[in-house]
Amino acid sequence: MEFFDPYLKDVGSLLTWLSKIETSVTALQVVQGVAAILGIILSTLGIYKAWRYAEKRLGKRLDEYLNAEEEKLVAARRLLQATRRQIAVNPAGQIALPSKRELKPILKPLGARYLEPPKQVLKDALALASERQALARKRSEFHFHQQALVHLLLGASASSEEDHENALKHFRAALSIDKHDTDAIEYLGFQLLKAGDGEQALEQFERLRAIAESRNDPLLVSRAHRNCGLAHLKCSPPSNFKANAALKRAIHCFPHSGSVFELAHIYELRAQVNMQQQRTLPLAGRCLERALTNYSALEYEGNGDASAARAGIKRIVEAQAVLRRASEPRPQASDDEDGRSDDEDGSIDSTPA
């Protein structure tokens, strides 16, 4: 009754107001008015509940309908089998099939729409079965995608709670449903990377790159190369050279329509890799400059990434201070082991800030 308390209070106020302006209102009229108001409230509540839970009941109603139709078809099959057993072999030695007269009582229970010639009945039944098959396939695909998404979210939740085992279990379960789910592949790779398993993480990221290239998705290709670069740092032994090469490819294939923040982050990652070796410190400095340019542009725009951009600017400024202390006047550092300078292939300047 707590639900009706606000309404009863309003009804009481209404009755008090009515008693002041109309003294001829009888007790019966008051009761009728209250009953009418309560009826409206309860009807509205019923309509709301019916609307609120209609979607939840839809699947159950559909199953009931399909089961009822299936029972009719199964019953018809039984009748057909019974009729078939009663048919004798004709003198020519051929087995006779049911006649139109024998089919009529079999098809009649299927419903009014089947009260047509047998040939049309069978065509209608086939069309109906095909529609059900398509519906079942669609429902099955929906359920598979739903299960994959649930596993993905459960894996992310487990990862946030440092439950490495369950996170891997759910990410792999999502992949078992759809082996081309790029989110599941990437999340599984990140989880393996988080656990320090660079080799298996690299395997997942290479799968991601192959799928991205087959779909001609340059942004996903760039992310896959970026992830491969991170994995190379966790392999045994770690390879700064391979990590730098992968991040370089990530910058080269990054699309112009991609996020400026994401591009800045790749430059920042590449700078961190090149700060690990004395000979590549100049390259690290150029990467930091490009990252700073992109972060500053985002901060100037003042959009939703402005706060993250300011944090990025702070990291870059701190890294530049560390780099200045570690740097000494040296000749142009090489980007690759074959001696080519980074500027020769435009890996810094080819992508706009």
Q: What is the pLDDT of residue 148?
A: 85
State residue 3's pLDDT score: 46
Number of domains in the chain: 1
Residue 312 lies in a domain: yes
**Which tokens belong to 301?**
């725009």
Is 299 among the domain residues? yes
The pLDDT, as a whole number, for residue 47 is 67
pLDDT for position 350:
46
Residue 333 lies in a domain: yes
Q: How high is the pLDDT of residue 327?
A: 75
State residue 164's pLDDT score.
Answer: 92
Q: Is the dihedral of CA 204, 209, 212, 213 positive or negative?
A: negative
User: Which structural domain, as residue segments, surrounds residue 292?
Assistant: 259-353
- Position 48 scores a pLDDT of 61
Assess if residue 84 is contained within a domain: no
pLDDT for position 290: 94
pTM: 0.61
Please tell me the predicted confidence (pLDDT) of residue 59.
61
In this prediction, residue 56 carries a pLDDT of 59
| Vertex 219: Cα angle to 213 and 223 (nearest 5) | 85
Q: Which of 172, 351, 159 is nearest to 270 (CA)?
A: 351
Is residue 141 assigned to a domain? no
Profile the chain (353 residues) by mean pLDDT over runs of 10 residues. 50 55 57 69 66 61 67 69 56 59 67 55 71 75 80 90 92 91 93 92 96 95 95 93 95 92 94 89 93 90 80 92 79 47 43 47
Q: State residue 299's pLDDT score.
A: 85
